[in-house]
Amino acid sequence: MKKTCKNLVLLAFFLLGFVNVNSQSNYTDNQSINSLLKKKRNYNKKNKTIYKIQLYNGTERRARNIKQNYMMKFPGVPKLEYEAPEWKVQVGGYTTKLEADRALNKIKEKFSGAIVIPYTK
């Protein structure tokens, strides 16, 4: 019985050492992720990518109704545009996807079909 307890203690120390090694590799991975995020930000600055939230894509009548509804619930004026054969209702001009996603979370409470779309100048 004592030999089994001794083996369990040794196994526990081995597993703790393994967890410690894995946590160090996660730190290295975080540095890689931060490096990639920095590169992505630089790319976005050079290519002038902005993000919009599209509330609707379809018929003119429904697009105008969605625009009016949005104006009553949120500050700001959405852009209503026509691209044959459909009308689009879009808002914002966010400089980062993260910023657009944060706004989308609020907008989705009232407009469940809203999506973030990239727009390159």
Which range of residues forms the domain containing residue 36?
1-46
- 52 and 13, same structural domain? no
Asked whether the beta carbons of 50 and 119 are under 8 A apart, the reply is yes
52 and 18 housed in the same domain = no
Mean pLDDT across the stretch 76-97?
90
Q: 114: which DSSP letter?
A: -
My answer on whether 32 and 53 are in the same domain is no
The total number of structural domains that make up the chain: 2
Given 46, 63, 78, which residue is the final one in a domain? 46
- Express each pLDDT in 38-49 by its tens digit: 888 887 677 778
Model confidence pTM above 0.75: no
Whether residue 79 is found in the same domain as residue 106: yes
